[in-house]
Amino acid sequence: MIKLAVPKEQHLNESRVSVTPDCIPQLKKIGFDIFIESGAGERASFPDSMYIKAGAKISRNPKDLFKNAKLVIKIQRPFKSTKKNELSFFEPDINFLGLIYSSRFKQEFELLKKKKVNVFAMELMPRISRAQSMDVLSSQSNLSGYKAVVDAASIYNKAFPLMMTSAGTIAPAKILVIGAGVAGLQAIATAKRLGSVVFCFDVRSATKEQVESLGGNFIEVENEDSGETESGYAKEMSASYKKKQSKLLEENIKKMDIVITTALIPGKAAPVLISKKMVKTMKTGSLIMDLASEFGGNCELTKHGEVVDFETKKIVGPKNLPSSVAQDASRLYSKNILNFLNNSCEDGKFVDFNWDDELVKGTCLTKLKKGK
């Protein structure tokens, strides 16, 4: 049996756990002996007793948890502070799976490399059909899009749906979603279910059909460029396009009650699409929910982890939305990981990663083992 270790997440505002009890029997079946750090799943409503019942072992000492482990699975990068340093527990040749973001957290990544750890950055999963069930960014972004609308509804001081009462009629909220990726499309669907009128902007013309299928109204800049990379992600556009885009957004934003931004460019800072000048033109009491705040933000005024009050408007830079629905987010992440490990199984058993597989190559950041 191969030892698989699941540490408790230590980063602030992180309530998820990387492996959930429902996946334990399947992991055992393919050859893993699963050790869970005590309390790892509590914040996601998975107590130790559920893991024990599923067939996992509970470890109360982090050092013992990591000892002789072949795989360590987390959500966030290893935690390091003056009181606790998870990096000190890593042994050479451990396979570590998690969300790494090596270009942003270079120091932690370099320390893992020095430890001779095989680092798998799950956020780099190639965007191909057979990888969909392993795509952690998609599973977590789906929940982010949903939660962004729910949180916006709780902050916004008006109702979302059309209401006709004896005292008068309440007009439906107008919501603009910027970015029709996984998070954006879920935001559209959720906002529609709550009764609002939804508009969406995306540089990729191919997303128009998806937006309209959810009941959204697609607004676009006339352009011959498809606006997407070969991998299907939005790409950085030309200066002339950006000028037209800015004018289009300026015209539409002032009509909106809520704007939800999700625009990201892989490997780069989030594009700033909403200027201070645009915010000034927005309605009194309107709201911007900036899902790109962790990567710099799509709004010039965004501050990550804060609610900025600006001339009767609010700009929200939410922190780790998937963690606020930790139970579902953990289940989806755990299933993604299980599917990734299954991908390297031979005859129903996991012995090692299939180092020739494009999904393994695409996610493994460090030098592969000799002879592999």
Q: How many domains are contained in the chain?
A: 2
Six-digit token string for 30: 């393919």
Closest to 73 in 3D by CA, of 100, 50, 102? 100
Question: Is 97 among the domain residues?
Answer: yes
Count the Cβ atoms, other than its own, within 10 Å of residue 276: 11
- CA dist 188 and 200 (Å) reads 8
CATH code of the domain containing 75: 3.40.50.720
- CA dist 332 and 316 (Å) reads 26
Question: Is 231 among the domain residues?
Answer: yes
Question: Is 146 among the domain residues?
Answer: no
**pTM (2 decimals)?**
0.92
- Please tell me the chain's helix, strand, coil percentages from 3-state DSSP, rounded to the nearest 5: 35, 20, 45
Task: With H, G, I as helix, E, B as strand and everything else as coil, classify residue 135.
Answer: coil
Where on the phi/psi map is residue 13: left (φ > 0), alpha (ψ -120 to 50), or beta? left
Whether residues 315 and 335 share a domain: the answer is no
Whether residues 331 and 292 share a domain: the answer is no
Q: Which of 300, 319, 338 is the last residue of a domain?
A: 319
* 106 contacts: CB under 8 Å, gap ≥ 6: none
Question: Is 358 among the domain residues?
Answer: yes
Whether residues 264 and 357 share a domain: the answer is no
Question: Is 371 among the domain residues?
Answer: no
Residue type at 190 in one-letter notation: T
Whether residues 169 and 296 share a domain: the answer is yes
* 34 contacts: CB under 8 Å, gap ≥ 6: 4, 6, 19, 24, 27, 28, 51, 55, 56, 57
Give how far the C-alpha of residue 37 lies from the chain's centroid of Cα atoms, to the nearest Å. 24
Question: Is 141 among the domain residues?
Answer: no
Whether residues 309 and 216 share a domain: the answer is yes
Q: Which of 288, 304, 319 is the last residue of a domain?
A: 319
Q: Which of 285, 302, 319 is the last residue of a domain?
A: 319
Phi then psi dihedrals of residue 255, to 5 deg: -95, -10
Give the DSSP H/E element, type plus range, for residue 360.
Answer: helix 358-363
Whether residues 92 and 160 share a domain: the answer is no
Whether residues 311 and 163 share a domain: the answer is yes
119 DSSP β-pair partners: 96
b/e per residue 225-239 (b: at least 16 CB within 10 A): eebbeeeeebeebee
Q: State which residues form the domain around 91.
A: 2-134+326-363
pLDDT in tens, the chain (372 residues): 999 999 999 998 999 999 999 999 999 999 999 999 999 999 999 999 999 999 999 999 999 999 999 999 999 998 877 677 888 899 888 999 999 988 888 888 888 888 899 999 999 999 999 999 999 999 999 999 999 999 999 999 999 999 999 999 999 999 999 999 999 999 999 999 999 999 999 988 889 999 999 999 999 987 766 555 565 566 567 788 888 999 999 999 999 999 999 998 877 889 999 999 999 999 999 999 999 999 999 999 999 999 999 999 999 999 999 999 999 999 999 999 999 999 999 999 999 999 999 999 999 998 655 444
Whether residues 223 and 355 share a domain: the answer is no
Note the pLDDT of residue 372: 42
Note the pLDDT of residue 25: 98
Question: Is 147 among the domain residues?
Answer: no
Whether residues 241 and 298 share a domain: the answer is yes
Whether residues 39 and 15 share a domain: the answer is yes
Note the pLDDT of residue 240: 85
| Catalytic residue annotation | 127, 132, 135, 138, 233
Cα separations (Å) of 43 from 24, 78, 327? 18, 18, 8
- CA dist 258 and 280 (Å) reads 14
Question: Is 330 among the domain residues?
Answer: yes
Whether residues 160 and 302 share a domain: the answer is yes
Whether residues 250 and 341 share a domain: the answer is no
